[in-house]
Chains A and B, each alone.
Chain A
Amino acid sequence: MNHPKITAVSPLVEHVDVSSQLGINGWRGVELEELAFCIHLNLRCDPSDSQALTAASTALGVALPLRPNTFHEASDIRIHWLGPDEWLVVAPTTDIHLVDKIVSAWTGFHHSVTDITGGQTVVRIQGDRARELFNHGCTLDLHHRVFKVGQCAQSLLAHVPVLISRRVDDANGTCRFDIVVRRSYADYLAKWLADSAEEIGFVNRLGNSQQPTSSNNRSQVSSASK
């Protein structure tokens, strides 16, 4: 039969509170934006298996970071250290063969590649007062001397589990962080961010994500169809 229109809905696309608000003294402290529809993959392998590591970096075009709390980045693919044997890959929607690439590279190695694309999203927080916003609900020390560009950390933000990464050096532009948040918490977190930024002011673009028209994002069944 003919199916009604199939559209992807990002975790924040139906977010209700999308208004922006100036802070005291006309401040515009932070900008909030969703980087929706990235491909998210959870990778597991034995970090002492150098062959598996080499195979992965060849397939992905970037090495798995082995230093705790760092991420590697190349041609729009970011690989975050989550644990000594666990990584998160965030890649553009268009990279639909990514799963197959890494799975075939790791054939024969004990590994796990799990597509969690539907389960999380990226929220970008940038602006002069971004750290202050984080400080309202996160106990990490995000000071620029401590949490440097290329570092990431899993922690709690407003009691919600998140992965925070520092993207750009303050000196080269605006202070910018990306946070990866689980889908089910995204709406709560968006409300919390707007509330916490009440005083410093915010430009809110959450909920304005463009929906991709493609229905060819089939990566999530590759494992089910075996």
Chain B
Amino acid sequence: MLEINCPWCGPRDQIEFSCGGEAHIVRPLEPENLSDDDWADYLFYRKNPEGRHHEQWCHTAGCRKWFNAIRNTVTYQFETVYRIGEDLPEKTSR
């Protein structure tokens, strides 16, 4: 059972959250102008890294706010969390 630090509410138990998968996926502005391949790339292809992963989480049972997190998929340690719209806390290699 993880303990996740909501950027608004502070540390809470994992059961209050839902994970939305990879973060920083930007919806194409003109989907109709994309090829099937490019659309599929946006729609289906995800990184699934071993190690540092940028994820989007929602504090579902709390403040209902979505936020970003960098979590290590091997150790399950959260490196950091940051609010939507905030810059990444540091340059990363994503």
Contacts and interface: CB of A to CB of B under 8 A. Distances in A.
A154 B62 contact: yes
B62 A153 contact: yes
A139 B12 contact: yes
Contacts of A161: 61
Nearest to B65: A83
Contacts of B19: none
Interface in B1-34: 8-10, 12-13, 15-16
B64 A69 contact: no
Contacts, number: 37
Contacts of B10: 68-69
Contacts of A82: 63-64
A86 interface: yes
Interface in A130-167: 139-140, 153-156, 161
Nearest to B13: A139
A102 B12 CA distance: 32
A118 interface: no
Nearest to A160: B61
A156 B16 contact: yes
A83 B61 CA distance: 11
A86 B64 contact: yes
A161 B59 CA distance: 12
A156 B15 contact: yes
Given A84-B65, A86-B64, A153 B9 contact: yes
A69 B12 contact: no
B9 A156 contact: no
Interface string A59-80: 0000000001100000000000
Contact of B61 (A69, A84, A154): A154
Nearest to B14: A139
Nearest to A84: B8
Contacts of B16: 139, 155-156
A84 B15 contact: no
B63 A155 contact: no
Contact of B15 (A139, A153, A154): A139
Contacts of A139: 12-13, 15-16
A131 B12 CA distance: 17
Interface of A: 68-69, 82-84, 86, 139-140, 153-156, 161
Given A82-B63, A140-B13, 14 more contacts: A68-B9, A83-B64, A84-B8, A84-B63, A86-B63, A139-B15, A139-B16, A140-B12, A153-B9, A154-B9, A154-B63, A155-B62, A156-B15, A156-B16
